[in-house]
Amino acid sequence: MATSTVSYLWRDQNAFKGFCTGVSLHSHTNQSKETLDFLANLGNKYSLIRPILARLERRAQEKFGLRVNYAAAYWTPPMTPRLAFDLESRQIEDLDLNSMVSITDHDNIEAPMLLRTIPSARRIPVSVEWSVPYGGVQDFHIGVHNLPSNSAKQWMRTLAEFTANPKQARLKEILVALNDEPNVLVVFNHPMWDLFLVGEEKHQFLVNEFLQKYGAFLHALELNGLRNWEENRSVRRLAQQWNMLLISGGDRHGVEPNANINLTNATSFTEFVHEIRRQRLSNVLFMPQYAEPWKHRLLQSTLDAIRDYPDFPQGSRTWDERAYHPDANGVMRPLNEIWPNGRAPFSIHWTIKAVQMLGQGPVSGSLRLAWNEDSQLRVALGEPEG
């Protein structure tokens, strides 16, 4: 029997009492390549967006000889692995809890491998968010935590080979093998997020089909700290339907720490994995930032992505250092190396400035009030108000 508890720090300031450790799961660093392919999907879905994108594509072709390639282009979050690790650890330690942090960049393990050279982070698990193409139209994201150190690179080759050439029979073989690793934790991240906009009905069908085929090899469903209340309520219903455990996953991409964590009395990450897999026990704590209006939090995350950070290491300071696109020769380069004279075109520069203004002073406050979700907070994830 799966036993999941969900608590909210803004309701109960003592919700973490009785636990000795907080676990931060699912966050991203500048080692994570975040695709821009979703822009093309939005353009196909929404008629108002398509002309804007078409104009940008046309100007790129005419002025710079570049054909916009959404599938190849990507951006990276601003925080380095060390900054991200310290951010997540500090939030937990401020509660007088020991901290464990599992960073899951998209399809690579560079961040935990780099962090293992730092004494304070040497015990960080080797983890990844694996992109799993499914049904020919959708991608599912699977959090794979605590890969064995001696075979982690081989595991990454195996996962990458499947992502590049997905075959259903091979997927089962991989998930069975991961499940056979006793210290590995496999989580279905944000399962109800229709990432490629295939439609709610189609997406729900694919999720349930996926769980029917492979649910026995997955250890938990994620309550995502960056998704909205209604979607997380749907995940809770899904977990009840399939008798699966719920687990936290902040999905931080910016500079705000994860909006939820797990509470445990485990003294190592492996011990925490055993608590989830063997005891089927999970205690999720939502942090105060999750009580902020969801649209406001999405705006802040977007602003984090395009904000300048002059104190960060070179390569992470400006948004166009962190966004990449093939140049005229097909070589992937940061945008600030592709712009003429190293500066963004006037129209793009002022578009970015206009978006940045949304996060300043009165404008930001007014948007926050307009997006207030107090009625949503009263029901939280389907529980009566405490």
- What is the DSSP code (8-state) at residue 162? H
Distance CA 342, CA 95 (A): 44
User: Residue 22 in contact with residue 263, Cβ under 8 Å?
Assistant: yes
Name the fold adopted by 3-32+76-293. Answer: TIM Barrel (3.20.20)
State pTM to two decimals: 0.89
Number of C-beta neighbours around residue 87 at 10 A: 18
| Cα Rg of the chain (Å, integer) | 21
Q: Pull the structure tokens for residue 32.
A: 């994570």
User: Residue 296 in contact with residue 226, Cβ under 8 Å?
Assistant: no
Residues in the chain where the model's pLDDT stays below 50: 363-364, 367, 375, 378-379, 384-386
Of 127, 169, 145, 172, which Cα lies nearest the Cα of 277? Answer: 145
Of 252, 137, 259, which Cα lies nearest the Cα of 194? Answer: 137
Distances 287 to 6, 11, 354, 375 between C-alpha atoms, Å: 11, 10, 30, 18
Distance CA 159, CA 126 (A): 14
Beta-bridge mates of residue 5: 283
Distances 374 to 89, 211, 366 between C-alpha atoms, Å: 29, 33, 15
Note the pLDDT of residue 338.
Answer: 83
Q: Pull the structure tokens for residue 170.
A: 């091979």
Q: Residue ranges of the domains in the chain? A: 3-32+76-293, 297-370
Note the pLDDT of residue 386.
Answer: 34
